[in-house]
Structure 1
C-alpha cells in the first residue's frame, strides 16, 4: 500500500533513502567520502522536509521501506527553497562541491523546459529491494501526474534502473557522462498516460 508521507515520516524516510543511495554512483561522485553516510542522510532529509513535503509530493510504502519524492508544476516555492538551501547542499558536498555544481549544470542542460512531475529521488531500503516497492511508489506518482495531465521526468546514474523506468513508460531522452570523471547518467521522460 502506498500513501502520502507526513512530517512525522521524515526521519525514517531519510534513513531509507540514505541506505538506498549508500553506493549510488551519483551521490558517491557528488558528496564527500568524509562522513559520507551522514552527509548523504542530511541531504536526503533536507530534500524531504524542505522541498518534497511542503512543495511537492512524497509517496511512501507502508513501513517506509520505499520513498519517492516528486516536485510538480504546482509545487510553488520549490525553486526559492532550493536556492536558499544551495549553500547547505554545497557544504554537505564537502570536497566534492565543484563536482556537485558541475553535475547539476550538466544535468540542467538535459532537463525539460515544459512543466513536469520531476522524480527528484526514489529509493528502497536494501533489505526490502526486489519486492516491487520502488515500482509501486513511482507508479502512484505517475497516476497522479496522469490525472493532472502532466508528463514526468527523472534522472538516473545507474544503468540497472533504466529498464525499470522504461517498463513504467519512460524513455531515455539523453545519455551522457557527468563532468570530472562522473558517472554515466540517463535523463528519461514519460508522456501523459505512459
Structure 2
C-alpha cells in the first residue's frame, strides 16, 4: 500500500530477491551508491575508473556468489530498483575457490593496477571477521537519486526480521564513518577498527547481538 505525500499517493517500497536479469541494474545502483565511499575512493582513486569499475565489481560478486546464497535483496518502487543489499547467511561469508576463479577476470577488468589495494582490504577484513556463526551484511547501498526515500530502511528491516526470527547475530563493516549512527539505530555496535595502510581510511566493524 502506498502512502500519502503532498496530496499524492506515493508507491510503497517493495523488497524482493533479485534474479539474474536484475544483476546489471542492481550493480549500477550499487556503483552509484559507493562512488564517493572513502574506501572505494582509496582503492580506485580515479573517478572515471571508479565509475566503470564498481558496477563490474558488484555484478561479479552478485552473479557468482550472492544470487546462489539467497542473501541478496533489492528495494523496488514502481518497478525501479532504488537500493540493494548483499547478505551472507551463517557460515557462508567466505567465497569458495571456484567462485573466486569465476570472478577473477571481471575483478582484473574492474580494478586493473588497483587489484593489490583491493586485496589488501579484503585480507584485513578477513582477519577481523568473527568466527561465531552470524548473518553478514557485506554490501548495502541506495541510489543517490532516491536516498532518504526509505529504500535502505526497507532492506535493513526485511533481513533483520529474519535474523531476529532465527535469534542470530549480525555483522558488518562500515566503510564510511557517516553511516555508523545509521547502523546503530538498527542495533549494531562498534567493535573495533580496521585501519587501511598507506594513510588509507578506517573501516568500522559492527556487531548486532541476537534478539
Whether these two folds match at TM > 0.5 is: yes
Gaps of 5+ in 2: 1-13
Q: Are the equivalent residues in 2 in contact too, given 1:56–1:75 (CA < 8 A)?
A: no
CA 1:30 to 1:56, structure 2 compared with 1: closer, same or farther past 3 Å? farther
Whether 1:44 and 2:44 are equivalent positions in the alignment is no
Q: Are the equivalent residues in 1 in contact too, given 2:72–2:84 (CA < 8 A)?
A: yes
Q: Are the equivalent residues in 2 in contact too, given 1:61–1:67 (CA < 8 A)?
A: yes
TM-score (norm 1): 0.90
Q: Are the equivalent residues in 1 in contact too, given 2:52–2:110 (CA < 8 A)?
A: no
Equivalent residue for 2:159, pick from 138, 141, 146: 141
How far off its partner does 1:71 sit? 0.9
TM-score (norm 2): 0.83
Residues matched between the structures, number: 193
Classify the secondary structure of the residue corresponding to 1:113. Answer: coil
CA distance in structure 2 between the partners assigned to 1:177 and 1:76 by the alignment: 21
Classify the secondary structure of the residue corresponding to 1:150. Answer: coil
The structure whose residues are more often helix, as a share, is 1
Deviations 1:79-105 (A, max 9, x none): 334432463435532222222122222
Equivalent residue for 1:99, pick from 117, 124, 141: 117
Cα RMSD after superposing both structures: 2.0
Aligned to 1:9: 22
CA distance in structure 1 between the partners assigned to 2:103 and 2:81 by the alignment: 27
CA 1:179 to 1:151, structure 2 compared with 1: closer, same or farther past 3 Å? same
When Rg is computed on C-alpha atoms for both structures, the one with the higher figure is 2
CA 1:144 to 1:80, structure 2 compared with 1: closer, same or farther past 3 Å? farther
CA distance in structure 1 between the partners assigned to 2:132 and 2:97 by the alignment: 18
CA 1:111 to 1:93, structure 2 compared with 1: closer, same or farther past 3 Å? same
Gaps of 5+ in 1: none
CA distance in structure 2 between the partners assigned to 1:133 and 1:74 by the alignment: 27
CA distance in structure 1 between the partners assigned to 2:181 and 2:108 by the alignment: 31
CA distance in structure 1 between the partners assigned to 2:98 and 2:140 by the alignment: 20
